[in-house]
Structure 1
Amino acid sequence: MDPDPHSDISAVSALEEPARRRLYDYVRAHHDPISRDEAAEALGMARPTAAFHLDKLADEGLLTVEFARRSGRSGPGAGRPSKLYRRSDRQVVVQLPERSYELAGQLLAQAIDDSERTGEPPRTILGRRARDLGRAVGTEAGPSDADLLATLERCGYEPRDEGRDIVLANCPFHTLAKAHTDMVCGMNLELIEGLIDGTGCAGRAARLAPADGYCCVRIETTPAAPDR
């Protein structure tokens, strides 16, 4: 696995596009490599559209590319080899709601590794990595409250619009937070602050506000923000 979390973030973002995800799932379901024509016909897409998204998935390392002549002919007159795609061996965190604890484990492990190498406190590194992750995911969304809510949902939260504020009815890291409250809540805060920063949602700020039955983070409307 690539130790750089930003490459995983880019791959996750690539799979957020519905057509691209359908193509990835189609190729993944087949043992033999798939051509552009096969994928386009199977999914009812235009060939150029399928080709574009397949190449994007290959660029992200989610698919591997090979060339072969499907006719079995060779030599002059056999035509150009077809570009074929198959699922790569790369493993990524492809869906934050389902893989939240794996995500937290990766961030924690990377923070410890970086700390041993640099001497910087692990919590400082953990917070920075969580914020960077949130920011990268957030940049794929728009700047409205609706975009922010949708992004939070994709990340495993259950956001509720409560007047001028947004509360989170769950914590994706609940079990881990019970055992390591300060560390995990701090990571969670940095992650959500990064999401807000990445979306560019003006007039929103996150703060720690633990309450029974809710995530420890509350997203407030800043004083300078207009009424929503």
Structure 2
Amino acid sequence: MGRDEAIAAIGALADPVRRRLYEYVATCDQPVGREPAAEALGIPVHSARFHLDRLVEEGLLEADYQRLSGRSGPGAGRPAKVYRRAAGEVSVSVPARGYDLVGRVFAAAVERSLDGAPLAESLAEEARAVGRSDGAGLGTSRSEDELRRTAQVLGERGYEPTRTGDTLVLHNCPFDALAREHTALVCGVNHDYVSGVIEGLGCCHARAHLDPAEGRCCVLISHEQ
């Protein structure tokens, strides 16, 4: 789910009835039909149907059809539409944060270290690998300007890039809370990730540099001849 879709999904829960329906379905052990949900909340069935289907549209619930009687075959009745909480996770932060990304890097590096690989090297390699994957997967045509392409990928990750001449300034650190407590470690991972993005994009002149400053990401990207 992209950021725009996540914001819309969270916004759907602003309605108090819709939020109560979501919480009710989420806490049930089995998929829930419209009638039981309406009865549990004390609302009309048509209202429950509207809100439940809206939650499905926003990706917060999943819908299926089941025979609630438990019977099958002739005379068992038509299957009813039932709802369950969606498997995916929805989160929004302002400014954007990416703790899931750094968590993936740390977890993969620790697994490698348990097999005997040096932890520092594993962190660097895993961060670059994730960056290369993002660069290759989200990048645009290689005929476009390298800094513009890099900005597109990092913008998707919440870095809030702005170009100033031949330099790309990243106004937001997606790992801000971790970076404040473990600066050297997280900034190193950040630098390796951004370098991996540049490699994944196939850039020949863009370079990532560690250049910590207050109020922005510790990495700058420059275009070098």
Whether these two folds match at TM > 0.5 is yes
The correspondence for 2:2, drawn from 16, 22, 39, is 16
- The 3 A distance-change label for structure 1 pair 65 and 40 is closer
- The 3 A distance-change label for structure 1 pair 93 and 38 is closer
Farther off after superposition, 189-198 or 101-110: 101-110
**Equivalenced residues, count:** 192
**Kept in 2: contact 1:26–1:39 (CA 8 A):** no
- Counterpart for residue 46 of structure 2: none
Deviations 1:187-210 (A, max 9, x none): 111211233344x36455332231
**Kept in 2: contact 1:192–1:206 (CA 8 A):** no
The correspondence for 2:120, drawn from 123, 129, 143, is 123
**Kept in 2: contact 1:165–1:221 (CA 8 A):** yes
Structure 1 CA distance, aligned partners of 2:148 and 2:78?
48
- Counterpart for residue 208 of structure 1: 209
Deviation at 1:162, TM superposition (A): 0.8
Structure 1 CA distance, aligned partners of 2:74 and 2:113?
59
In our comparison, the structure showing a higher alpha carbon Rg is 2
Structure 2 CA distance, aligned partners of 1:78 and 1:126?
57
- Counterpart for residue 149 of structure 1: 151
- Per the normalisation by structure 1, the TM-score is 0.57
- The 3 A distance-change label for structure 1 pair 75 and 42 is same
**Kept in 2: contact 1:131–1:190 (CA 8 A):** yes
- Counterpart for residue 7 of structure 1: none
- Per the normalisation by structure 2, the TM-score is 0.58
Gap runs ≥5 in structure 1: 1-14, 224-228
The correspondence for 1:134, drawn from 114, 131, 135, is 131
* Matched residue type, 1:172: P
Aligned pairs (5 A) from 1:41-190: 42=54, 66-69=64-67, 75-76=73-74, 81=79, 84-88=82-86, 98-101=96-99, 103-116=101-114, 118-138=115-135, 139-143=137-141, 146=148, 148-190=150-192
**Kept in 2: contact 1:96–1:156 (CA 8 A):** no
- The 3 A distance-change label for structure 1 pair 108 and 67 is same
Identity within the alignment, %: 34
* Matched residue type, 1:100: G
Deviation at 1:161, TM superposition (A): 0.5
Deviation at 1:74, TM superposition (A): 5.6
Structure 1 CA distance, aligned partners of 2:150 and 2:176?
21
Structure 1 CA distance, aligned partners of 2:90 and 2:123?
19
* Matched residue type, 1:217: V
Structure 2 CA distance, aligned partners of 1:155 and 1:126?
19
Q: Report the secondary structure of 1:220's partner residue.
A: strand
- The 3 A distance-change label for structure 1 pair 203 and 114 is closer
Q: Report the secondary structure of 2:211's partner residue.
A: coil
**Kept in 1: contact 2:97–2:173 (CA 8 A):** no
**Kept in 2: contact 1:204–1:219 (CA 8 A):** no
Deviation at 1:94, TM superposition (A): 7.3
- The 3 A distance-change label for structure 1 pair 202 and 175 is same
Gap runs ≥5 in structure 2: 26-31, 35-48
Structure 1 CA distance, aligned partners of 2:158 and 2:204?
23
Deviation at 1:163, TM superposition (A): 0.7
Structure 2 CA distance, aligned partners of 1:170 and 1:20?
19
- The 3 A distance-change label for structure 1 pair 193 and 123 is same
